[in-house]
Amino acid sequence: INRIGVFTSGGDAPGMNAAIRSVVRTALYENKKVTGIYHGYQGMIDGEFIDMTSRSVSSIINKGGTVLKSARCLDFKTKEGRAKAYGNIKREGIDALVAIGGDGTFTGAQILSQEYDIPVMCIPGTIDNDLYGSDYTLGYDTANNTVIDAIDKIRDTAASHNRVFFVEVMGRDSGCIALQAGVGGGAEAILLPEKETAIVELIDLLEHAEERNKSSMIVIIAEGDKNGGVYNVAKHVKEKFEHFDIKVSILGHLQRGGAPSSFDRVLATRMGYTAVRELLKGNSGATVGIRGIDMITTPLDEALNNREFKLNEELLEIAKVMSF
C-alpha cells in the first residue's frame, strides 16, 4: 500500500474530523501518502480528490462536521457508478480506502472491495450508536452531552412553571441517546423503540410523579419510539391531565453538531490510527471498533448482518428506579 484514500459519507457526526486527522497523520508517519476524497462516494465518482499533508488536518480535532464534506450518493448503488469510482481511484494511485460513516457507508465499502481488488477499512461514525462491532460510535458521546445540556435548560423553565416537557431526541431506530441522556439528564420517563411503553403506562408514571409533588417533569422520547410521535404522546397525556401545562421540544439537528467531546476525540484518534495500522498489516473488509478499553476489528459481513441489542438492561432498570 502506497496511497490511502480517506472519506466521510452518510450522516455526519462530531469526531469525524478527528478521525480524518488521525488517518492522515498515521499514514504519513508510516511513509504512506494520503488522498482526501470530498463528498464520500459522490466525490469518488466525480473525481474530487485532494492530496493531504499533515497541515491539511491542522486545527480540526476540535471541529464538528467533516472538512471532507459528506453526501448521499445514489449512483454508487449501481455497477456503472462503482466502475467509474474505481477507475478514478486507480488513476489517483489510491490503493486502499478508509471509509468513515454508518451502515450505508459500510455496505458501499464492502461491495466495492468485493467487486474490485481494493482493501477497505471502516470507522463507525454516527451519533445513533447503532452499529455492530463497537461499544461506541463516533459522535454518540458528544450528542449525549448536547442533549443533557438541553435537558438542563428545559428543566429550568419547566420547574418555574410546573410544566411537563416532552423532548424528542435523535437515534433513528435506536434508543441509545434517549436512555443515556435520559438517565444523565434525570428524566422522569423515557420512551424507547426497543422497549415499548404504552401511553397508559406513561400516564400512570406521571400520575405517581404528580402525587409526589414533582415540580417539573421531563419525558424523553426517542425519534424511533412506536407511539406515533412526540406530538401524539403529548396529546394523549393532555387529554388525561388537562391541568398540566404541556410543552413539546424536538431537539433535531443541533444534536449532530458541535465540538466533539474529549471521549469522541480520543476514540476517533484511536480508530483512525487502528484503521491505518490494520490496513498496513493486510487486514481488509472490516470495521474498527472499541470493546471495553480495547480497539478491535470486525469483518464487515459480521458487522452488517448483526443488529446488536445495545441498550444496557441494567441502565433501563436504573432509569425506572430513578424516576420513583
> Any residues with CB less than 8 A from the CB of 7 and at least 6 apart, and which?
36, 37, 38, 39, 40, 41, 43, 44, 68, 97, 98, 99, 100
Instruction: Name the residue nearer to ligand ADP (CB basis): 73 or 192.
Output: 73
Say whether residue 139 binds ligand ADP (CB under 6 A).
no
Q: Which residues partner with 218 through β-bridges? A: 165
What gap in Å lies between CA 33 and CA 11, rounded to an integer? 27
Applying CB under 6 A, which part among 96-104, 275-283, 294-302, 310-318 lies near ligand ADP? 96-104
Q: What's the closest the beta carbon of residue 88 comes to ligand ADP, in angstroms?
A: 15
What gap in Å lies between CA 231 and CA 249, rounded to an integer? 9
Please pick, from the candidates 64, 108, 133, 185, the single residue that binds ligand ADP as defined by CB under 6 A.
108
Cα dihedral 63/104/141/263 (nearest 10):
-60
Please pick, from the candidates 22, 126, 145, 216, the single residue that binds ligand ADP as defined by CB under 6 A.
126
Instruction: Name the residue nearer to ligand ADP (CB basis): 105 or 287.
Output: 105
Cell numbers for 79: 455497477
Q: What's the closest the beta carbon of residue 99 comes to ligand ADP, in angstroms?
A: 9
Say whether residue 103 binds ligand ADP (CB under 6 A).
yes
> Any residues with CB less than 8 A from the CB of 95 and at least 6 apart, and which?
1, 2, 3, 4, 118, 119
Active site residues: 128
Applying CB under 6 A, which part among 98-106, 218-226, 230-238, 298-306 lies near ligand ADP? 98-106
Give the other-Cβ count within 10 Å of 39's Cβ.
Answer: 20
Q: What's the closest the beta carbon of residue 75 comes to ligand ADP, in angstroms?
A: 8
Please pick, from the candidates 3, 46, 56, 72, the single residue that binds ligand ADP as defined by CB under 6 A.
72
Residue 19-58 contact track with ligand ADP, rule CB under 6 A, x = bound: ----------------------x-----------------
Say whether residue 111 binds ligand ADP (CB under 6 A).
yes
Instruction: Name the residue nearer to ligand ADP (CB basis): 70 or 197.
Output: 70
Give the other-Cβ count within 10 Å of 163's Cβ.
Answer: 18
Instruction: Name the residue nearer to ligand ADP (CB basis): 68 or 190.
Output: 68
Taking alpha carbons only, the member of 282, 106, 286, 43 closest to residue 35 is 43
Is 245 in contact with 162 (CB distance < 8 Å)? yes
Taking alpha carbons only, the member of 321, 277, 271, 259 closest to residue 1 is 277
Q: Is 196 exposed, middle or buried (0-12, 13-18, 19+ CB in 10 A)?
A: exposed
Per the annotation, where are the binding residues? 11, 21-25, 72-73, 102-105, 126-128, 155, 163, 170-172, 186-188, 212, 214-216, 223, 247, 253-256
Say whether residue 76 binds ligand ADP (CB under 6 A).
yes
Q: What's the closest the beta carbon of residue 275 comes to ligand ADP, in angstroms?
A: 16
Compute the C-alpha angle 8/105/303, nearest 5°.
Answer: 125
Please pick, from the candidates 26, 105, 284, 297, the single residue that binds ligand ADP as defined by CB under 6 A.
105
Query: Which positions lie near ligand ADP, rule CB under 6 A?
Result: 9-11, 41, 72-73, 76-77, 101-105, 107-108, 111, 126
